Structure 1
Amino acid sequence: MGVGIIGCGNISGAYIKASRSFPVLDIRAVADLRPEVAAARAAEHGLVAKPIGALLSDPSIDLVINLTIPRAHVEVGLRALAAGKHVYSEKPLGIAFAEGKRLIDAAAAAGLRVGSAPDTFLGGAHQTARQLIDKGAIGQPIGGTAFFMCPGHESWHPDPAFYYDFGGGPMLDMGPYYITDLVNLLGPVARVSGMTSMARRERTITSAPRKEQVMPVHVPTHVSGSLRFANGAIVQIAMSFDVAGHNHLPLEIYGTEASLIVPDPNNFGGEVKLKRPGSDWEDETVALPYADGNYRSLGVADMAHGILADRPHRASGALALHVLEVMEAFDKSSRTGQVVEMTTTVERPAPIAQSLVNGRIG
């Protein structure tokens, strides 16, 4: 399937490298609002750089990977749909539920597909955790914890201001990894209770090339609350750019029969551990595919195969829209002091094993 990439920033290199693991993906061109950035990325990877309009009008491109900043995800996605292209967006799907729904509705009207990162839940470690839950290893799920807390991204990212602008913040930045994996493991979220805070109105960049520049902060930088899933499980969650360090594991799932450690949902691999009453933690890691590297393009490859085989793809627009509604609900709950009921639901994506051919997606 012919693929074009719009947005040649920090994450595009990982997508391009990973795409070479999937023969179904043929990157025909890259583009960026800054032509010099697209040209540099194309030269680095032996690709062709084009203006955005030329990429969208290229008949050999069937699917656009949208790697622009979050505030541009829906605008660029709508342009791709209008050009007759399927679109796969970097996370989040949009910066507000209403605009994300607009994108999904436009795709449905055009008979096209939308996909969205994250696709890390398709990695071998998270599929192992899914298998354990599905076969009843933990019994009935009753709860869990999900934690991402750090001092912020200004110490390492070359241009971190968008993390603190509208559409940024720890929930929209990192929440998609955690909540998407939780939906993969437990199913859809039914309601959300949340509280938010902003520790500082300005932050100083400590990374090159913008070192010592001061950024305004427009969004909450500490978000916490609870998710109640349709199956009854209750998960406590905290996403923060205000914490120097912590000892919480990224994800734990608790059941009536056992507890499960799920590794960092920002990665495809990691150790999966299970603890039953009266026993030590046992390593349940198995050699499932896509656990030994950074496969950011796996969701795109699954989407391409799904289009070609006329089957659902897993990192779907419906899943991303549900996750976006969940994330938006934390701020709404914090402002109103009320529990927020979800208006969307979604089926858990099918286990990736159902479309593996010789150990690879097919």
Structure 2
Amino acid sequence: MHTEHDWITTPITAALLRGALDLERTEHGLLPHRLPARARAQNTDAQLAMAEAQPSGVRLAFRTSATAVELDTLRTKRDYAGFPTRPDGRYDLLVDGRPAGQASVSGGNRLLVDLETGQSEVTPGPVGTVRFSGLREGVKDVEIWLPHNETTELVALRTDAPVEPLPDRGRRVWLHHGSSISHGSDAAGPTAIWPAIAASLGGVELINLGLGGSAMLDPFTARAMRDTPADLISVKIGINVVNHDVMRRRAFGPAVHGFLDTIREGHPDTPLLLVSPIHCAIHEDTPGPTAPDVEEIGKGRMVFAAMGDPAETAMGKLTLTVIREELSRIATRRAAEDPHLHYLDGLTLYGASDAAELPLPDHVHPDAATHRRIGERFADAVFGPKGAFAEQD
């Protein structure tokens, strides 16, 4: 029987982490990044910098006979001026692949964002501790999934028995890129984001490059994917291109081709899935940009509205309907020469009938139930017997 004084501190290294592409040494510990240093050096956007440093899909993974685990972290929690504080980020514990606990950490830094001015302010806070106890006796595989929506510096790992890196379980590695919907938006926790649900059902190891507000065909993201070892790759493109109003139809097609060409430089024969946007009523036929609804902000509600004019599509402005047409055309053309390229219409994951049943609460992002539905449908369509990522005999 272990006592409270039996703690063993294990240095946190890359060998104990999965889902991160880089680790930065800070004054407190290690900060996992989901984009490598070279990509970060080419980025000047604060939103992307925040998103890639939030460890969506990143988890500690080790084998141990410990019955208690403590993890010291320094979080940076984001709140919005004039709105209630957001829920604390959640740590999900898996033991031998099964849910075994949930917890949050106190303290940490607070990032306060003013939606009207775009300004932000950070208030420093102390390191906190998340603790899991009562784990079953005996050797087991332990994973601690970090909060998908809080920047998390890893400070110290303590257990009441030695740990070793989780051995390779022979699973295929799935590298996925998408928007805040893939990042996790309003999912209940890190294992409840739709890519994590799909990865669990598909029996694969997830590397999640879902980057909130930042799936805009950036070349440095394509190069990061090119250089990341993976057995399966998917790219979900659309909503951010529209809601940031970053390009017109003329530029969109070549940008998609260039993004896929770059990935293919490092993965010439890897199954590559191009996924179009899920249903989003405000942008189906209305271009961006997207902006918070000022009237709703005054009521303390975060709701988004489309600011474009549907008539502008004639001048090349993009809507989700236009993007689906373009992506389908691009996939068909490329597949004639690339037998490993596949296409999935995002409306099969979440369409207009789903929106009637499970509406997007802020008009853009899915809630917890919708994440579950998208993840299950993706797993069935893509990892199923006839799917793009089906196991080959």
Q: TM-score, normalised by structure 1?
A: 0.29
Higher strand share: 2
Higher radius of gyration, 1 or 2? 2
Considering Cα pairs closer than 8 Å and 6+ residues apart, tell me whether 1 or 2 has the greater RCO: 1
